Amino acid sequence: MLTSKSKLNIALLIAVAFLVLIVVYKPGKDPEDKYQISKLEKSSVNHIRLERIEAEPIEFTKLNGKWEMLSPFSLATTQINVESLLDLLDYNYHAVYDHEKIELKKYHLDKPHATIIYNKQHRFDFGTTEALNKYRYLSHQNKMYIVDDYFHHRILGSATSFLNHALLPEGSQIVEINLPNLNLKLDDGSWQAKPIPEKFSNDQANELADKWRNAHASSVVEYKTGTSIDNISIHLANTDKPLVFELLKNAQVYYLARPELKIMYKLTKEQLRDLIKLPAAIAPEQLENNASDAKSDAKQNNTESQPTPSPSS
């Protein structure tokens, strides 16, 4: 026969088991994705179009796993910026209304502020915001959703804000550099210079080529005319035509422009200096000093790494 203490223990065990069931299975709780606006999978999207009232449309396509801009510029993009345009597909909503039961004009959805279209068919129109919580009104498939306003600003930026800041395509192999008053041409692994600078070395040319390969502008902007200083051309392996940059100055700022692409890369003075002149040659005596210093540092590091003998007892 159960004692009062045993009955109490059993009751407590049943209560604990009941609480565990509530925590694990959450009866009565809606699935987390019940209020998700769209079931479109991010991985299935290979085309994005942005439409804005006060700006030109922007289109992207995914080629070989990477996003490229189709218009208004046909150029490589910063992948993370374009990928962020897919986040809307994960968004949940606070409320939803059928179009038939609302006046679209009241929410500025008759003439949307902006629109994003995935795969040329999944359209999302952005209206105004409500006054109290600043939620955004969003139209999709004949319904109006009320959502957090975390996304709208992403599709309002300039087209150039999505472009890659690299001056050269990824993996470029430079075979010729034409700078003002200097030509460098790669011939059987060795750089030939015309005219030949004083104390010229292959290392200098290699360093300059590396700087071009790794060069990223501080920003990319739409092309505007300015004071044209000179042209610089970079010839890449396995290409027929060189990439030609117009070096220009506009309002005390230097740019390397690609007029045919309608863009220009903004550079700091330090960046420009590193790209239009050879790095300083290292004198032979400096090479000897560097080698001597390296040996000295290595010897010191080796000494410091040796264990200290313990005193004998």
**Rounded mean pLDDT of 235-254?**
93
Give the C-alpha separation, 186 to 263, whole Å: 29
> What's the predicted TM-score (pTM) here?
0.74
- The 8-class DSSP code of residue 172 comes to -
Reply yes or no on whether the pLDDT at 132 is more than 50.
yes
Contact assessment for residue 127 and residue 113, using Cβ atoms and an 8 Å cutoff: yes
Residue 302 pLDDT: 57
Q: Decide which of 285 and 74 is more confident.
A: 74
SS (HEC) of 220-276: EEECCCCEEEEEEEEEECCCCCCEEEEEEEECCEEEEEEHHHCEEEEECHHHHHHHH
Give the C-alpha separation, 88 to 125, whole Å: 12
Q: How many residues belong to the chain?
A: 313
Residue 35 pLDDT: 72
Give the C-alpha separation, 222 to 160, whole Å: 7
Before 195, cis peptide (omega within 30)?
yes
Reply yes or no on whether the pLDDT at 98 is more than 80.
yes
The alpha helices in the chain, defined as continuous H runs, are: 4-25, 79-83, 202-213, 269-276, 284-305
The alpha helices in 43-126, defined as continuous H runs, are: 79-83
Reply yes or no on whether the pLDDT at 304 is more than 70.
no
Contact assessment for residue 125 and residue 137, using Cβ atoms and an 8 Å cutoff: no
Contact assessment for residue 34 and residue 28, using Cβ atoms and an 8 Å cutoff: no
The predicted-structure confidence for 177-196, as pLDDT tens digits, reads as follows 999 989 999 998 899 999 99
Strand partners, 256: 247, 265
Before 72, cis peptide (omega within 30)?
yes
Reply yes or no on whether the pLDDT at 64 is more than 60.
yes
Reply yes or no on whether the pLDDT at 24 is more than 80.
no
Residue 293 pLDDT: 53
Measuring CA to CA, how many Å separate 238 from each of 68, 176, 235? 22, 12, 9
Reply yes or no on whether the pLDDT at 17 is more than 90.
no
Residue 56 burial (CB count, 10 A): 11
The predicted-structure confidence for 206-244, as pLDDT tens digits, reads as follows 999 999 999 999 999 999 988 999 999 999 999 999 999
The predicted-structure confidence for 135-146, as pLDDT tens digits, reads as follows 999 999 999 999
- Please choose, from the candidates 209, 121, 120, the residue with its C-alpha nearest in 3D space to the C-alpha of residue 172: 209
